[in-house]
Every structure is written in C-alpha cells, then in structure tokens.
Amino acid sequence: MAEKKTNKKSVGAGKMSVDKPIAIQGYEGSFHQVAARSFFGKKVEILPCATFIDLINEASNEANTAGGIMAIENSIAGSIMPNYNLLQKSSLFVAGEVYLQIDQNLMVNPGVKLSDIKEVHSHPMALQQCLGFLKKYPWKLIETEDTALSAKNIHLKKNKHVAAIASKLASEMFELDMIAPKINDVKNNYTRFLILLRDPIEIHDANKASINFHTDHTQGSLAKVLTLIAAEGINLSKLQSFPIAGSKFNYGFHADLEFDDVKTLHKVIKKLQPKTQYLRVLGVYKKGKYNA
C-alpha cells in the first residue's frame, strides 16, 4: 500500500502558520502547548483535550482545528505505545517534530516561601521525576490529572500553603513564582512531539520520514527490509514493533528514516513495496532540533 494520494501543500523552512487552533493533550500551560509554540509560533491558538484519543479526534476535525501535536516518546520513559497505535489507526499525517527539554519547576503564589508549603500538587509522572528534590522536605505529595491544571488551581484559589510542579509557561500564564526552577532529577529529559495534519505537505528541505509497514513474517523478511534501507544510505533512527490486532502474535513496524535527498527516500519506498504486505508513508518532514 503506497502513500495516500491527496492534494499537497508546499511549504518552506521556518515556523508553519495555521489559521485554526492546534489540538493538544492537556490544559493551557502544558508542555504540549510549549511544543506547539515552538513549532507554530507563540501566537498559535490551542484546543486543549483531556485525552490523546480526544486529541486525535479533534485533530481530524476540519471544523475545529488545523491539526494537532502529540507526544510520541520520551528519552527516559521510552515510546508511548498507545500513541503509536492511535497514529496508525488515524488518517493523519506527520508534518514535523519537536524535541522539547522537559524541565519541572516548583511554583507558588507570589509571596509564598518554601517554609509555607504543606502540599505539592502535580501529575504523578512529574512528581516521580522530582523525588530527589521533594524528599528533602516534609511536604504531602498530591497526584493530579495535569501539571498545568495544578498550577491554574493554586492560582485561582490563591492558596498560600500549596505549590505546583509544572512548566515555565504555566508559571507565566498563571502569574506564579518559580520558587525552585528545574527540580527534575534527570536534567537531560526530552520528549519528542509529532505535528499531525489532515493532509500531507511537501517540505522543501525534508530529511526525515515516518513509515508503517507489515512483512509476511517469513524467516528473514524483516532483515531484507532493513538491509534494503541501509543499502540506500538511509539511517534508520527508530524502529518500533507493535502487535497487529486480530493476528496470532504477528507484528507491524513503525520506522523513522533519515536521509540527505528526498529522491533517495522515494527510491527506497518504491523498492520496499514488493517486500512488504502493507506500507504507508505517515509523513515526510524536516528533522527536529533539540529545544530547551
């Protein structure tokens, strides 16, 4: 199965402009919004979604959004497998990526001191990422559904004894003081986000692609695919297997390919088609840079 044929827009380098909101998972001030601003610019409107399923649905809804941005993997926690499955089942295309450094910050209402804090609220993952710092204090840790929502709530309630752990953007949006910045235990903590649009776009300087494929599962079938990719000078930067629903432990694969010339990619895709039972090009785009 080849790349879906649709009308393509052509764009150059630089931030992509959109005329509708971008769907994100989480609330205003979340790391998803930080990533959206990194790719689309600070003026981009966002449509908050409670779940990743909601994100995919809204990103697919032409009436509501221009697309979406979704976390797909983390340098510590690894691949977010449910999101790979959501992407594969959707009709969305990858138009870009953002590597965002995740810095967790302890924030309070103005005037609150460390000695005033009795509770710290945040998402369970954020609390876990900061345990080295949090264990130094006799605070009660309260798990919440979202980092940014925790920040918003302490702002709205003007609480003098509760702190939140969230992004720098959340502190700015909700007028909170970052009483202890960058308290996460592991400093090089990056999350990769994918830019998802309803139609494929043509990037002039594209040097990366994401594909999804199935082999016939005979001996050596996957090795033949990988050998072909390597023989054409393409770097396989990601290979993720996933079970094919309804099969007896047969697996499909998500692959990220890096190249110098998009013509090389087209050549490889053409050669891969007869060696795979299913092949879909999820997107051809510009490789992301690491953003702090």
Distance from the Cα of residue 232 to its chain's centroid:
29
Left if phi > 0, otherwise alpha if psi is -120 to 50, otherwise beta: which for 235?
Answer: beta
Q: Is residue 214 part of a domain?
A: yes
> What are the residues whose beta carbons fall under 8 Å from the beta carbon of 188, sequence distance 6 or more?
75, 101
Residues 79, 118, single domain; the answer is no
Q: Is residue 228 part of a domain?
A: yes
Residues 153, 133, single domain; the answer is yes
Domain residues for the domain of 225 are 208-286
Asked if residue 105 lies in contact with residue 149, where contact means CB atoms within 8 angstroms, the answer is no
In DSSP notation, 56-83 reads HHHHT-TTT-SEEEEEEEETTTEE-HHH
What is d(CA 33, CA 162) in angstroms, rounded to the nearest whole number? 24
> What are the residues whose beta carbons fall under 8 Å from the beta carbon of 24, sequence distance 6 or more?
30, 32, 33, 36, 46, 47, 48, 49, 55, 68, 69
Residue 87 to residues 37, 67, 159, Cα–Cα distance (Å): 21, 13, 40
Q: Among 203, 237, 271, which residue terminates a domain? A: 203
Residue 73 to residues 57, 84, 198, Cα–Cα distance (Å): 20, 9, 21
Residues 97, 197, single domain; the answer is yes
pLDDT at 292: 58
**pLDDT above 50: residue 9:** no
Q: Is residue 76 part of a domain?
A: yes
pLDDT tens, position by position, 164-214? 999 999 999 999 999 999 999 999 999 999 999 999 988 889 999 999 999
- Encoded amino acid at 116, one letter: D
Left if phi > 0, otherwise alpha if psi is -120 to 50, otherwise beta: which for 123?
Answer: beta
Q: Is residue 95 part of a domain?
A: yes
Residues 98, 193, single domain; the answer is yes
Considering only residues 282 and 217, tell me which one the structure prediction assigns the higher pLDDT: 282
Using only C-alpha atoms, what is the Rg of the chain?
A: 21
Residues 199, 213, single domain; the answer is no
pLDDT at 7: 42
Residues 95, 193, single domain; the answer is yes
Residues 22, 94, single domain; the answer is yes
Residues 165, 128, single domain; the answer is yes
Residues 77, 151, single domain; the answer is no
Asked if residue 22 lies in contact with residue 69, where contact means CB atoms within 8 angstroms, the answer is yes
Q: Is residue 28 part of a domain?
A: yes
Residues 280, 266, single domain; the answer is yes
Tokens of 143: 């798990």
Residues 26, 79, single domain; the answer is yes
Describe the chain by its helix, strand, coil percentages, rounded to 5. 30, 35, 40
Total domains in the chain come to 3
Average pLDDT of the chain? 92
Average pLDDT over residues 229-253: 90
Residues 157, 17, single domain; the answer is no
- Encoded amino acid at 91, one letter: S
**pLDDT above 70: residue 4:** no
pLDDT tens, position by position, 68-118? 999 999 998 899 999 999 999 999 999 999 999 999 999 999 999 999 999
Tokens of 245: 């629903």
Angle at 249 between CA 245 and CA 251, to 5 degrees: 70
Task: Return the CATH number at 246.
Answer: 3.30.70.260
Which of these, 98, 52, 40, lies nearest to 290 by C-alpha position?
98
Task: Return the CATH number at 165.
Answer: 3.40.190.10
User: For residues 24-60, b (16+ Cβ closer than 10 Å) or e, as one string?
Assistant: bbbbbbbbbbbbbbbbbeeebebbbbeebeebbbbbb
Q: Is residue 292 part of a domain?
A: no
What is d(CA 214, CA 241) in angstroms, rounded to the nearest whole number? 10
pTM of the model: 0.91
Q: Is residue 4 part of a domain?
A: no
pLDDT tens, position by position, 136-173? 999 999 999 999 999 999 999 999 999 999 999 999 99
Tokens of 56: 């995919």
Q: Are strands 177-180 and 201-203 parallel, antiparallel or unpaired?
A: unpaired
Q: Is residue 1 part of a domain?
A: no
